[in-house]
Structure 1
């Protein structure tokens, strides 16, 4: 059996409740499924997890109204130097 191919991905998130924006790093483990196809499993902070877009919650307010953006994009709301949220153009 081949070893899985692991890809690190940084996913940006924006909370639509409190406007907090953050990024989290996920590991996407790509492997053969034994039937000629591919399967992807996810890890976050070293633990098996759901994909980043499945039911994310805000680390600040625990809100569930979170927008997940594709890896490599920037959140629409960013925190300034003192942690206050501000919208970017």
Structure 2
């Protein structure tokens, strides 16, 4: 029994390359870089396949759409490779981590519900009340008034 009989395709030698892709979010203008390992292999039929890896895990290629780590939008564009190394002023400055946040766990306050928007209810209710009052008045005057 050969490997073709079992549904397995043999993969010949391949090679790995490291690529860094710079991105910019078109919504919040956040700029970041993503490091990939691109594994290029050739199967038994001569087809070349590129597998994109991040931390050893296969991921979608960067041309398929990237999510912004700042705001979560999928409206990102990429710069040419090496662009950010020539323009480091575009990269955000690394923020130092506060010492107190490392020492003690951070407790987050549970958000409470907002109170009823009284002004909005008055702003919407007053015109509706005026309209209903006018219609009632017109109907009562038309019914009881002289014809």
Please tell me the TM-score bracket, short chain as reference. 0.7 to 0.9
Q: Which has the larger radius of gyration?
A: 2
Say how many residue pairs are matched: 83
Q: Give 5+ residue unaligned stretches, structure 2.
A: 1-10, 96-147
Please list, as runs of the form range in 1=range in 2, the aligned pairs for 1:3-82 lying within 5 A after superposition: 3-74=13-84, 77-80=90-93
Task: Name the structure, 1 or 2, with higher relative contact order (CA <8 Å, separation 6+).
Answer: 1
Question: Structure 1: which 5+ runs fail to align?
Answer: 83-89
TM-score, with normalisation over the residues of structure 2?
0.49
Q: Which has the higher strand share?
A: 1
Q: Residue 87 of structure 1 corresponds to which residue in structure 2?
A: none
Q: TM-score, normalised by structure 1?
A: 0.77
Higher helix content, 1 or 2: 2
Q: Deviation above 4 Å: which 4+ runs of structure 1?
A: none
